[in-house]
């Protein structure tokens, strides 16, 4: 098991046993900034060496994941349960959008095995973050809801994750591999250590979210466990179609199978106030995030390996 | 001490609403406001501020009676149903009446 995962377990244990362990908010903010910038910079450096023309169809294919996943999740939840429209739409937005921490665990997993991945993945991360949130809002409110689109757009596009990821991408692309060298000790060499500390806090938060699970526990657990694998498989298949390598397919699967817990909750809280925020958050943080880092990531790697092997054999 | 009567309106609510409420109190005629981070527990459960979206803010506005009434009525109509929110108004005496 990847050593960083142990830190998540430690956080969960400390949270469940009500330890006084608590990460200062400013430290958590700094760690998440470092992770976002690292992911952006790494992608920017590699993206600079690729032809832009090849990217356009890939970006469109990836964006389609952000439309398909929330629509299917919404339809399935509405068909199979008695959940209100707003709550189903909120879950759809969370599951269509992505989790940066899960992606980082995927990157760490591939690094441990020495598997390279395509440079455009961080760009895909940015692309997948937004559309599902918009789909969720439209599912809940309709197009002409008179809802506060300005505030929502501000929340979605100028949220710190998009700003730092895109900023990192651009800085990385402008400076290139040599220019970035002086920054490597902070951003690249410390990546696993930063991720370990971040996951410690995630463990504490996840323990709190799972503990808050009371109403609709069955729905939350079932949604949290059933959604990731089919969504990830769709991501891996699309990764295969657009010609990503094994690492790239795995990470696109990780992205598609992950659920947002930063961008989506904030935007949905503003745009769909009648949705119960703890429902989506306990599903995405309390159930899906742990599922993905323990079972999902290695499983998606195996699916991607099987699919790329099958493709090569045919 | 020569003080003028004003209202102190305090709103304790979800951190996510901070920008909207600031715009709101400005539009309603308040000349200033103070925001502090807060945590606590109420009918919507513990709001621990353990991380960003679970936090509360405490927004304080010193204003005239009319502005305080306008703001609280707007809050009741638009926010009380869906958000964790408590607001209350108390009488205060201020030294520089023209400031508020």
Q: Which chain A residues are Cβ-neighbours of B19 within 8 angstroms?
A: 151
What does the pLDDT average to over A91-111? Answer: 95
**Token representation of residue B66:** 């009319």
More confident of the two residues A71 and A22: A71
Chain A 13-32, CB below 8 Å of chain B: which residues?
Answer: 22, 25, 28-29
Chain A 186-205, CB below 8 Å of chain B: which residues?
Answer: 201, 204-205
Closest residue by Cα to residue A226 from A287, A301, A303: A287
pLDDT tens-digit profile, chain B (100 residues): 789 999 999 999 988 899 889 999 999 999 999 999 888 877 766 555 444 556 789 999 999 999 999 999 999 999 998 898 999 999 999 998 888 8
User: Does A272 have pLDDT greater than 80?
Assistant: yes
Q: What is the DSSP string of B5-60?
A: EEEEEEEEEEGGGHHHHHHHHHHTT-S--EEEEE-EEETTEEE--SSGGG-EEEEE
User: Does A311 have pLDDT greater than 80?
Assistant: no
What does the pLDDT average to over A96-125? Answer: 94
Residue A144 DSSP label: T
Q: Which chain A residues are Cβ-neighbours of B17 within 8 angstroms?
A: 270
Q: Mind telling me how many Å the CA of A20 is from chain B's nearest CA?
A: 12
Mean of per-residue pLDDT scores for chain A: 90
Identify the burial level of A289 via C-beta atoms within 10 angstroms of its C-beta, where 0-12 means exposed, 13-18 middle and 19 or more buried.
Answer: buried
Phi, psi for residue B45 in degrees, rounded to 5: 90, -175
pLDDT at A155: 76
Positive or negative torsion for Cα B3, B7, B13, B16: negative
Q: What count of other Cβ atoms lies within 10 Å of the Cβ of residue B99?
A: 11
Q: Which chain B residues are Cβ-neighbours of A277 within 8 angstroms?
A: 53
Q: Mind telling me how many Å the CA of A147 is from chain B's nearest CA?
A: 12
What does the pLDDT average to over A153-171? Answer: 87
User: Does A295 have pLDDT greater than 80?
Assistant: yes
pLDDT at A12: 93
Whether the CB of B85 is below 8 Å from some CB of chain A: the reply is no
pLDDT at A208: 79
The domain segmentation of chain B, as residue ranges, is 4-99
User: Does A145 have pLDDT greater than 70?
Assistant: no
- Percent of chain A past pLDDT 70, that is, above it, reads 96
> Binning pLDDT at 50, 70 and 90, where does residue A312 land?
low
Q: Which residue on chain A is closest to B84 by alpha carbon?
A: A273
User: A61-75 pLDDT, tens per residue?
Assistant: 999 999 999 999 999
The domain segmentation of chain A, as residue ranges, is 25-313
CATH number of B4-99: 3.30.70.120
pLDDT at A313: 45
User: A178-222 pLDDT, tens per residue?
Assistant: 999 999 999 999 999 999 999 999 998 888 777 767 678 888 999
User: A122-137 pLDDT, tens per residue?
Assistant: 999 999 988 999 999 9
Of A151, A208, A278, the CB nearest to B50: A208
Distance (Å, rounded) from C-alpha A236 to C-alpha A242?
10
In angstroms and rounded to an integer, the radius of gyration of the C-alpha atoms of chain A is 19
Distance (Å, rounded) from C-alpha A303 to C-alpha A235?
11
* H or E segment and range at residue B91: strand B85-94
pLDDT at A85: 93
Distance (Å, rounded) from C-alpha A303 to C-alpha A48?
29
* H or E segment and range at residue A141: helix A131-141
| Alpha helices (H) in A142-227, listed in sequence order | 149-157, 160-179, 184, 191-211, 217-226
Q: Please say whether the structural domain A25-313 has been given the CATH code 1.10.760.10.
A: no
B94 three-state secondary structure: strand
Q: Which chain A residues are Cβ-neighbours of B44 within 8 angstroms?
A: none
pLDDT at B46: 59
Distances in Å between the Cα of A118 and the Cα atoms of A35, A55, A79, A251, B51 are 18, 12, 38, 9, 33
pLDDT at B45: 62
Q: Mind telling me how many Å the CA of B51 is from chain A's nearest CA?
A: 7
Q: In what order do the strands lie in the sheet with B34-38?
A: B34-38, B56-63, B4-14, B85-94
Q: Which chain B residues are Cβ-neighbours of A206 within 8 angstroms?
A: none
What does the pLDDT average to over A154-170? Answer: 87
Which residues are CB-neighbours of A48 under 8 A, at least 6 positions away? A172, A173, A174, A176
Distance (Å, rounded) from C-alpha A287 to C-alpha A253?
18
Identify the burial level of A189 via C-beta atoms within 10 angstroms of its C-beta, where 0-12 means exposed, 13-18 middle and 19 or more buried.
Answer: exposed
Distance (Å, rounded) from C-alpha A58 to C-alpha B2?
71
pLDDT at A262: 82
Chain B 29-68, CB below 8 Å of chain A: which residues?
Answer: 45, 48-53
Residue B37 in contact with residue B55, Cβ under 8 Å? yes
Whether the CB of B82 is below 8 Å from some CB of chain A: the reply is yes
């Amino acid at each position: 098991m990847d050593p960083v995962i142990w830190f998540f377990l430690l956080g969960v244990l400390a949270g469940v046993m009500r330890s006084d362990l608590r990460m200062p908010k400013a430290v958590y903010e700094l760690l998440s900034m470092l992770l976002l910038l690292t992911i952006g910079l790494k992608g920017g450096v590699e993206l600079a060496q690729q032809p832009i023309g090849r990217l356009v169809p890939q970006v469109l294919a990836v964006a389609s994941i952000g439309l398909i996943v929330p629509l299917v999740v919404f339809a399935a939840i509405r068909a199979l349960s008695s959940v209100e429209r707003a709550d189903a739409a909120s879950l759809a937005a969370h599951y269509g959008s992505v989790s940066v921490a899960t992606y980082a665990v995927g990157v760490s997993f591939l690094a441990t095995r020495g598997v390279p991945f395509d440079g455009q993945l961080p760009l895909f991360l940015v692309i997948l973050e937004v559309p599902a949130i918009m789909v969720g809002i439209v599912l809940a409110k309709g197009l002409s809801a008179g809802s506060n689109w300005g505030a929502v757009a501000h929340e979605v596009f100028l949220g710190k994750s998009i700003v730092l990821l895109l900023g990192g991408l651009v800085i990385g692309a402008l400076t290139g591999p040599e220019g970035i060298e002086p920054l490597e000790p902070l951003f690249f060499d410390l990546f696993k250590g930063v991720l370990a500390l971040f996951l410690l806090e995630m463990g504490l938060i996840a323990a709190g979210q799972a503990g808050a699970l009371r109403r609709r526990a069955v729905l939350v657990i079932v949604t949290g466990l059933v959604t990731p694998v089919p969504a990830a498989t769709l991501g891996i298949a699309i990764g295969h179609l657009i010609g990503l390598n094994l690492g790239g397919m795995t990470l696109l699967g990780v992205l598609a199978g992950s659920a947002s817990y930063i961008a989506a909750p904030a935007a949905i809280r503003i745009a769909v106030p009648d949705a119960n925020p703890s429902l989506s958050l306990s599903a995405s943080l309390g159930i899906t995030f742990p599922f993905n880092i323990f079972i999902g990531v290695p499983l998606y790697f195996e699916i991607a390996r099987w699919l790329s092997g099958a493709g090569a054999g045919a | 001490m020569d003080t003028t009567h004003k209202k102190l309106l305090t709103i304790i609510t979800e951190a996510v609403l901070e920008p909207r409420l600031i715009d709101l109190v400005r539009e309603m005629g308040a000349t200033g406001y103070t925001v502090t981070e807060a945590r606590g527990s109420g009918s919507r459960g513990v709001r621990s501020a353990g991380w960003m979206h679970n936090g509360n803010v405490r927004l304080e506005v010193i204003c005239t009676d009319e502005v305080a009434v306008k703001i609280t009525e707007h809050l009741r109509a638009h926010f009380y149903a869906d958000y964790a929110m408590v607001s209350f108004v108390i009488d205060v005496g201020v030294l520089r009446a023209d400031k508020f």
